Amino acid sequence: MPYKKVLQAENVIIGTKQTVRALKSGHVLEVLLASDAEPRIIHPIIQVAEEVNVPITMVDSMRELGKACGIDVGATAAAILI
Protein backbone atom coordinates (compact mmCIF):
# COMPACT_ATOMS: atom_id res chain seq x y z
CA MET A 1 0.00 0.00 0.00
CA PRO A 2 1.30 3.48 -0.85
CA TYR A 3 0.96 4.72 2.73
CA LYS A 4 3.70 2.27 3.74
CA LYS A 5 6.07 3.99 1.30
CA VAL A 6 5.63 7.25 3.20
CA LEU A 7 6.05 5.56 6.57
CA GLN A 8 9.25 3.84 5.46
CA ALA A 9 10.80 6.79 3.63
CA GLU A 10 13.56 8.68 5.37
CA ASN A 11 12.88 12.02 3.67
CA VAL A 12 9.33 13.14 2.97
CA ILE A 13 7.99 16.57 2.08
CA ILE A 14 4.37 17.37 2.87
CA GLY A 15 2.21 19.94 1.10
CA THR A 16 1.54 21.25 -2.36
CA LYS A 17 3.97 24.18 -2.52
CA GLN A 18 6.82 22.17 -1.03
CA THR A 19 6.14 19.27 -3.39
CA VAL A 20 6.19 21.50 -6.48
CA ARG A 21 9.39 23.16 -5.28
CA ALA A 22 11.07 19.78 -4.70
CA LEU A 23 9.92 18.49 -8.10
CA LYS A 24 11.43 21.51 -9.84
CA SER A 25 14.71 21.03 -7.99
CA GLY A 26 14.91 17.37 -9.09
CA HIS A 27 14.95 15.77 -5.65
CA VAL A 28 11.73 13.72 -5.82
CA LEU A 29 11.57 9.96 -6.24
CA GLU A 30 7.75 9.68 -6.14
CA VAL A 31 4.72 11.88 -5.49
CA LEU A 32 1.64 10.74 -3.57
CA LEU A 33 -1.60 12.66 -4.11
CA ALA A 34 -4.91 12.31 -2.29
CA SER A 35 -7.71 11.48 -4.70
CA ASP A 36 -10.23 13.38 -2.56
CA ALA A 37 -8.28 16.65 -2.91
CA GLU A 38 -9.53 19.53 -5.03
CA PRO A 39 -8.51 19.00 -8.68
CA ARG A 40 -7.46 22.66 -9.01
CA ILE A 41 -4.99 22.15 -6.16
CA ILE A 42 -3.38 18.93 -7.37
CA HIS A 43 -3.33 19.81 -11.08
CA PRO A 44 -0.13 21.92 -10.87
CA ILE A 45 1.63 19.08 -9.05
CA ILE A 46 0.57 16.56 -11.70
CA GLN A 47 1.72 18.91 -14.45
CA VAL A 48 5.21 19.42 -12.98
CA ALA A 49 5.61 15.73 -12.07
CA GLU A 50 4.81 14.72 -15.64
CA GLU A 51 7.25 17.32 -17.00
CA VAL A 52 10.11 15.91 -14.92
CA ASN A 53 9.04 12.24 -15.32
CA VAL A 54 8.37 11.54 -11.64
CA PRO A 55 5.79 8.81 -10.92
CA ILE A 56 2.53 9.82 -9.27
CA THR A 57 0.62 7.50 -6.94
CA MET A 58 -2.95 8.35 -6.05
CA VAL A 59 -4.09 7.47 -2.53
CA ASP A 60 -7.63 7.32 -1.20
CA SER A 61 -7.73 9.95 1.48
CA MET A 62 -6.18 13.24 2.54
CA ARG A 63 -6.70 12.25 6.16
CA GLU A 64 -4.90 8.91 5.74
CA LEU A 65 -2.05 10.54 3.83
CA GLY A 66 -1.67 13.10 6.60
CA LYS A 67 -1.67 10.35 9.21
CA ALA A 68 0.98 8.41 7.29
CA CYS A 69 3.08 11.60 7.16
CA GLY A 70 2.78 12.00 10.92
CA ILE A 71 0.54 15.07 11.00
CA ASP A 72 -2.86 15.53 12.62
CA VAL A 73 -4.53 17.08 9.56
CA GLY A 74 -5.13 15.90 6.02
CA ALA A 75 -2.41 16.18 3.41
CA THR A 76 -3.09 16.83 -0.25
CA ALA A 77 0.38 15.85 -1.41
CA ALA A 78 3.54 14.22 -0.18
CA ALA A 79 6.83 13.73 -1.97
CA ILE A 80 9.36 11.01 -1.24
CA LEU A 81 12.80 12.48 -1.73
CA ILE A 82 15.85 10.85 -3.28
What pairing do the DSSP bridges indicate for beta strands 56-59 and 28-34?
A: parallel
Domain count, the chain: 1
pTM: 0.93
Q: What is the pLDDT of residue 3?
A: 83
Among 1-5, 38-42, 49-53, 70-74, the least confident range: 1-5
Helix (H) or strand (E) holding 58: strand 56-59
Domain residues for 20? 2-81
Q: What is the pLDDT of residue 1?
A: 63
* Domain harbouring 49, CATH code: 3.30.1330.30
Length of the chain, please?
82
Task: Please give the Cα distance from 58 to 38 (Å, whole number).
Answer: 13
